[in-house]
Amino acid sequence: MLGVALAVPVTLLTACSGRPTQALARVMEPVLPSIENEDFYRRSCAAIWNSSNTNQIQMAAYWLRVSECADQIPFKSRREFATSLPTTTWHGQLKKTLVELRDSPSLPQRRRALDTLSGLRDQVPSSVLPLVRLWREQQVTLINATDERLRAQREMKQLEMEMAELRAERQTLHRRLDDAEQKLRRLMDIERQLSVRKLVPVRPVPEQDDSTKLPQLAVPSVGDTSVDEPLPPASTPEQMTPDQIKEPQADDTEKDSEPAAGR
């Protein structure tokens, strides 16, 4: 009985002592870095690029170190370095793609890199797949941003062209308006002059009396050579005939007889 009694507490203590140790290990696991991860960050980039260890290339920490080493390659040497990498394996294609993406690729090059990352999703290990998806999403975001920027530039250029056309049309309309205003001013000046002439009364020329009229002299024409005959001179009493002299006397006798009859 004593042995059984002693065995039960020992078993209970053993069982209780194992649970806190496992729980503590689970809590401390994300905090304490693994030895393998520490080794990757301490290794040089040359060792990282030349590594072909199957266990290492299946670790996410290794590819994070590859991404850092790609940033450290000189800008002028990135394209040449990417060309020298083998592409017969999935990890070789992934290394080359990571280096090319650091070379300020154009939009078509970035699209090709996106296609490469999309094609590697079925080949990479499950431990590296989250990183590949993350890099792919980054490229999708950059491509969409580039497309939006190019679209905005095209719209801005189109808008500038339309604004230039509108400015040209406005200048043409201004010129036409100026011409129309000048013509209107000229027409208004002409109309004003005509209205002033209508308001001024026309004074009639006064008719001359017959007494004030000057005698009209016959002016011979240029081709007329005829000369008017002179009027005969008036006869004097010495030149008068007896008949001409008696006629006035008869008048005098008639005048003398009229008063006598009245008497």
pLDDT digits (tens, 9 = 90+) for 35-82: 445 577 788 888 888 887 888 888 999 999 999 999 988 888 888 888
Identify the band that residue 161 occupies on the pLDDT scale cut at 50, 70 and 90.
Answer: very high
Q: Is the pLDDT of residue 18 over 50?
A: no
37/182: higher pLDDT:
182
Tell me the per-residue pLDDT of 190-246, one tens digit each, with 9 for 90 and over.
988 888 877 766 566 666 655 555 555 555 555 555 545 555 555 555 556 655 555
The mean-pLDDT minimum among 100-109, 121-130, 161-170, 196-205 falls in: 196-205
pLDDT score at 31: 39
120/117 Cα distance (integer angstroms):
5
pLDDT at position 13, please?
40
**What is the CB neighbour count within 10 angstroms for residue 87?**
15
Helix (H) or strand (E) holding 168: helix 129-199
Q: How far apart are CA 153 and CA 2, in angstroms?
A: 91
Beta carbons of 57 and 51 less than 8 angstroms apart: yes
CA angle 160, 161, 165 (to 5 degrees): 115
For the chain, what is the mean pLDDT? 74
| Nearest in space to 81 (alpha carbons), one of 57, 110, 131, 45 | 45
Please answer whether residues 40 and 66 qualify as being in contact, where contact means their C-beta atoms are separated by less than 8 angstroms: no
Question: What is d(CA 96, CA 83) in angstroms, rounded to the nearest whole number?
Answer: 7
Contact of 40 with 62, CB cutoff 8 Å = yes
More confident residue, 114 or 23: 114
Q: For residue 70, which of 104, 36, 39 has the smallest C-alpha distance?
A: 104
Task: Describe the crossing of helices 129-199 and 107-119 by its angle, rounded to 10 degrees.
Answer: 150
Query: Quick check: 122 pLDDT over 80?
Result: yes
3-state helix, strand, coil in the chain (%, to 5): 70, 0, 30
Q: What is the pLDDT of residue 229?
A: 53
| DSSP 8-state class, residue 51 | -
Output the pLDDT for position 150.
93
pLDDT at 262: 47
CA distance 218 to 112: 120
Residue 166 has pLDDT above 90, yes or no: yes
Q: Say what the pLDDT of residue 78 is.
A: 86
Written as one letter, the residue type at 193 is Q
